[in-house]
Amino acid sequence: MKAVILAGGKGANLGPISATRPIPMIRVGGRTLFDNTLNLLKSAGINDIFVVVGHQKEKMIECISEYSNNGLNLHYVEQKTAEDIGGAVLQVRNKISPGEFFMLIYGDTLTAANIFSKTQQSFHSFKCPVASICLPPSNEMFGNVFLNAHMKITRIIEKPKGDELGNYVLSGVFILSASFFDLLEKKGRSMEKALKSLVGEENLRASMWEDEWLDIVYPWEILTANRVLMDSWKESSIAKSARLEGNVTIQGVVHIEDDVIIKAGAVIEGPCSIGKGCYIGNNSLIRSYTSLGNYCSVGYGVELKNCVILDNTRVGRLSFIGDSVLGEGVDFGAGTMTVNRAVDWKPISVKSGNRPINTGLLKLGTFIGDKVVVGAGNTIAPGTIVPPGKVLAPRYTVGGK
């Protein structure tokens, strides 16, 4: 069976992290979402894979080329104009033979266990088109699904309101036949209408997914994705080339990659991930659910807690980063703090576009885009978004301008 991964969406609500990369290139738990998807597909025995690229396509294409020798038959198809999901699916129409079934995957979803194997098992049982469904913590943002006792989907509501909410939602994995392309064209390239047409023909079954599942819509959900992956780890891995000086304390499950240097007095609390070539300064505290990308530098006495920090980012001495996401190439000045709670302990709101969104989280830090410079001594309020390339001046007590 062939797989099609949709990786061209802009992820407008995922700014500033999605502004400079495709969503599947977001790195959590030491790997990108794309890495995770490919590993699960390979374990499920699916090796022929087409990736529909669009937003920030060059980065996606470069990543695909790096997989050329790992046993996968991986190709990309370019979505030249910004279209909806149906338009993206139609880009691979000539890659699927008549009568053939294929797996369709939304590239912004994540599971630690193998949802693709489970969907295949359901397909082999029902021998007809299948949609994976799950029970999320909240179902208001996703296509809601109703089904009968025989796992036949009877109704799909794309944007539910009030009492239209169902228990299950579409989890972004489908097995469809090549005839679905004709149906898409007939329904004006609308994925929603095409799926509802299958339901109307009583020809769409449900594959129940009961494990962890996440559709990454907002930047704080990157932290949730990081936690989902790290909670699946069973054992530590420390590269032989990593150098840990005396009096380094390691607790819990950790993944430490090649050429990492950890100086004396540092404390590493798992689960956490430290990418290749990272430097961890003396007396630093790396707390649980922290993911450091490759070639990051963490200065003396820094505390990192439940944060995702992407490649080539530097954190100056005596800083604190908690419940936050930092992009690539960020220069985070010495003595800078991310405040991660409100004084009155009310849930944190984050401004997305022109509207504040209540995250429901009592602890949440900041979201910093690629190549941001944060001058020394700054204190950053909870829920702050800093766009890529911005420079925040240092905060001086004496002598500042």
Tokens matching residue 299? 């200065």
Query: Does the structure show a pLDDT above 80 at 142?
Result: no
Q: Which residues of 247-278 are buried (b: 16+ CB within 10 A; e: fewer)?
A: ebebeebbbbbeebebbebbbbbbbbbbbbbb
pLDDT of residue 203: 87
- pLDDT tens digits along 86-99: 999 999 999 999 99
- Whole-angstrom CA distances from 216 to 28, 63, 106, 221, 228 are 12, 20, 11, 6, 12
Query: Does the structure show a pLDDT above 70 at 400?
Result: no
237-238/373-374 β-pairing: unpaired
Average pLDDT value for residue range 123-147? 82
Where do the domains of the chain lie, and which CATH numbers do they carry? 2-219 (3.90.550.10), 230-392 (2.160.10.10)
**Contact at 8 Å (CB) between 216 and 109?**
yes
Average pLDDT value for residue range 10-32? 92
pLDDT of residue 200: 87
Q: How many CB atoms lie within 10 A of CB 154?
A: 14
Q: Please give the biggest Cα pair distance in the chain.
A: 74
- pLDDT tens digits along 145-172: 888 888 889 888 876 555 555 578 899 9
pLDDT of residue 156: 85
What share of the chain has pLDDT > 70, as a percent? 95
- pLDDT tens digits along 268-280: 999 999 999 999 9
pLDDT of residue 150: 84
Q: Which residue has the tokens 């990272």?
A: 278
Alpha-carbon distance 367 to 16, whole Å? 7
- pLDDT tens digits along 34-66: 999 999 999 999 999 999 999 999 999 998 888
**Contact at 8 Å (CB) between 280 and 259?**
no
Residue 134 CA neighbour count, 13 Å, CB half: 22
Query: Does the structure show a pLDDT above 90 at 395?
Result: no
Query: Does the structure show a pLDDT above 90 at 347?
Result: yes
Amino acid present at 222: I
Q: How many CB atoms lie within 10 A of CB 119?
A: 23
Average pLDDT value for residue range 343-370? 91
Helix, strand, coil: what percent of the chain each, to 5?
20, 30, 50
- Whole-angstrom CA distances from 244 to 239, 240, 254, 265, 297 are 11, 10, 13, 10, 15
Alpha-carbon distance 173 to 191, whole Å? 13
State the pLDDT confidence band at 80, using cuts at 50, 70 and 90.
Answer: confident
Lowest mean pLDDT among 9-13, 283-287, 304-308: 9-13
pLDDT of residue 166: 57
- pLDDT tens digits along 295-309: 999 999 999 999 999
First to last CA, the chain: 64
**Strand ranges (DSSP E) for 71-223?**
73-78, 101-106, 109-110, 130-134, 144-147, 153-157, 168-177, 205-209, 214-215
Average pLDDT value for residue range 166-195? 91
Q: Which helix (H) or strand (E) covers residue 326, if one does?
A: strand 325-326
- pLDDT tens digits along 209-253: 999 999 999 999 999 999 999 999 999 999 999 999 989 999 999
Query: Does the structure show a pLDDT above 70 at 69?
Result: no
Query: pTM of the predicted model, to two decimals?
Result: 0.92
